[in-house]
Amino acid sequence: MSSLKIRIANFFAKHSCSAWQSNRVVRKFCRNVYRFIMETGPSLRTYDNVNDEFRAKSYPYEDAEFANWPESDGEFYTLITDSGNFVIRRSTSYIAWLMKKHCGGWPKLPIPGERKPGEHNFDAKHWDEVLEFNGWQKVSKEGWPTWQNMNDEDHFIGIIADEGEFGQLVWFVGASVEEDFKTPIEWRVWTYENFKKVDRMIPATEETGVIWYREPKKGRYSK
């Protein structure tokens, strides 16, 4: 994305924050504008014939020049969110975007219940509630993702609740397997760490602490 577009998007992104804009109506308008610029700009989008819509070619918020300010000024949060209302450049936003890209829509959020309002938007620890709310199924060790799932184009999301302050979500990409071509040795996953995309290899053991969820086969959630 050009530096001019980033500067324009940054202007509207800043004015979507209460730290710099007190008018709620203006904040909402600015939020819609920067999301349009970042997510649907002509140079960043491709047409999806299946769902009859334009989609971003890659994660729309990977450019570090966009929203390159601290997430808090000490008095107000200055967090920026995507169209699914997930805080950008966290694993929750990245995985939610992959769900939209590959599974048909942004994930719907359950009623917070005992969670703080907006907690699911950045905190990965309790994403079992989000995935189950959207019909994803928790799998046992026997159902762990493996080489065959790559061929079947099955989608898996892993939750590592104890990693970092907010936990970590990972997207299954591939696996190395034992000689039986079934038992996984390592998983290849994508995620967002320290505000950038990371391609990781994770040992396929229970000690890793990954809890895997599998996308529902039919009737994927609506957009």
Residue 162 CB burial class (10 angstroms; 0-12, 13-18, ≥19): exposed
pLDDT at 11: 97
**The domain over range 89-223 is classified in CATH as 3.90.70:** yes
Strand pairing of 168-177 and 156-160? antiparallel
Residue 43 has pLDDT above 60, yes or no: no
Mean pLDDT on 181-195? 90
Domain extents in the chain:
1-80, 89-223
Q: How many Å apart are CA 150 and CA 172, to the nearest integer?
A: 9
pLDDT digit string (tens) for 125-176? 889 999 999 999 999 998 999 877 776 778 999 999 989 888 999 999 999 8
